[in-house]
Amino acid sequence: SQPWVAEAGISLHHFSGRLGEQLVHFQAMRLRDSLFLWVGSAPLLGSLAVAMCSPRDSIPVSTSLLGDPSDTTSNSLAQRLARKTKKQIFVSYNLQNTDNSFTVLIEKRIKEEMMAFPEKF
Amino acid sequence: MEAKPIVASRQRTVVVQGVPTEVVCMAFSNSILVVVTQYGKMGTLVYVDPDVVNNDVGRPVLTTKVLLGQDEPLIHVCAKNLVSFVSEEAGNKPVLLAIALKDKTMEGIKALQEVIQSCQVW
């Protein structure tokens, strides 16, 4: 009878893509009003950032939780996904390649999957 | 053509001491992620890190650090109680714990330990 019970719980969803000659894995975990998204080519958890929309600013606020704070890829990806979904977004980006042109492909692959399986995000 | 997942994960939904609870565990090569939630959210993020260097008894000292959320003493105690065995069994790997609990009683924590154990991926 509680909304908690009626609602679908945490959902795990894996997908992958060959991007710039590299096989990239994605592991999404949808929680209530939030999403955890891991990106990598080896099973490493090296960085973690969180972002959420701010009522005062059009750019979502973000912070680095784990890893090298000067590596801003997890941060900016979390910000862009928070802006798109309006959810609290956790991103762990674990690829060597952090070029803008490459992360654009990563983001495109994520958005593709979001379109195809909205219930997983 | 979909590649197989490279991060092992297990998930369970159970009622613990009357409270609907979700547990998710993911195994990374350098750490284990454990989510224990009775609110459906990530809640507080705690990094539980075994310090093997600083002792000679063989049993590592665990340090806990709140990465996100309210940093209160009880959360450190809960974190250590819930996942120190995970760290140990995984070969002294750090554990990233996401924790959102309604029931923080000792009985509740003990029951949650068993649920985490049943999601063993390490």
Count CA within 13 A, CB hemisphere, residue A118. 3
Q: Tell me, yes or no, whether B95 lies in a domain.
A: yes
- How distant, in Å, are the alpha carbons of A25, A93, A94, B81, B117 from that of B87? 25, 23, 22, 11, 12
Q: What is the pLDDT of residue A71?
A: 85
User: Using CA atoms, how far apart are residues A15 and A28, in angstroms rounded to an integer?
Assistant: 8
For residues A92 and A48, the answer to whether their CB atoms sit within 8 Å is yes
Please give the residue range of the domain that contains residue A43: 14-120
DSSP symbols for A26-62: EEEEEETTEEEEEEESSS----EEEEEEETTEEEEEE
A3 lies in a domain? no
Number of domains forming the structure of chain B? 1
Question: Would residue B2 count as lying in a domain?
Answer: no
Q: Which of A89-93, B59-63, B83-87, B92-96 is predicted least confidently?
A: B59-63
Contact B7 A43 (CB under 8 A): yes
What total number of domains does chain A contain?
Answer: 1
Is B3 among the domain residues? no
Residues of A with CB under 8 A from a CB of B: 2, 4-5, 7, 9-10, 12, 14-16, 23, 25, 27, 29, 31-34, 36, 38, 40, 42-46, 48, 50, 63, 65-66, 88, 90
A66: which chain B residues are within 8 Å (Cβ-Cβ)?
Answer: 47, 67, 96
CATH number at residue B77: 3.30.230.90
> Rounded distance, CA B15 to CA B74, Å?
22
The confidence score (pLDDT) of residue A8 equals 67
Contact A48 B96 (CB under 8 A): yes
pLDDT above 70 covers what percent of chain B? 93
In a domain, A7, yes or no: no
CA gap B32, A56 in Å, rounded = 36
CATH code (residue A40): 3.30.230.100
pLDDT recorded at residue A70: 86
**Residue indicated by tokens 């990598």:** A40
Residues B6, A40: C-beta atoms closer than 8 Å:
yes
Q: Which residues on chain A are in Cβ contact (under 8 Å) with B35?
A: 10, 29, 31
Q: Who among A14, A44, A65 is closest to B45 (CB)?
A: A65
Confidence category of residue B56, pLDDT binned at 50, 70, 90: low
Please tell me the predicted confidence (pLDDT) of residue A37.
Answer: 98
Does residue A5 belong to any structural domain of this protein? Answer: no
C-beta of residue A112 within 8 angstroms of C-beta of residue A118: no
Residue B98 has pLDDT above 70, yes or no: yes
pTM: 0.93
Residue B35 has pLDDT above 60, yes or no: yes
Answer yes or no: are the C-beta atoms of A102 and A110 closer than 8 Å: no
pLDDT digits (tens, 9 = 90+) for A74-99: 999 999 999 999 999 999 999 999 99
- Nearest C-alpha in B relative to A9: B40
**pLDDT at B116 > cutoff 80:** yes
* SS3 at position B114: helix
Residue B67 within a domain:
yes
Q: Which domain holds residue B83?
A: 8-119
From first to last of its 121 residues, what are the pLDDT tens digits of chain A?
A: 344 443 469 999 999 999 988 999 999 999 999 999 999 999 999 999 999 998 888 899 999 999 998 889 999 999 999 999 999 999 999 999 999 999 999 999 999 999 999 999 9
Residue A103 lies in a domain: yes
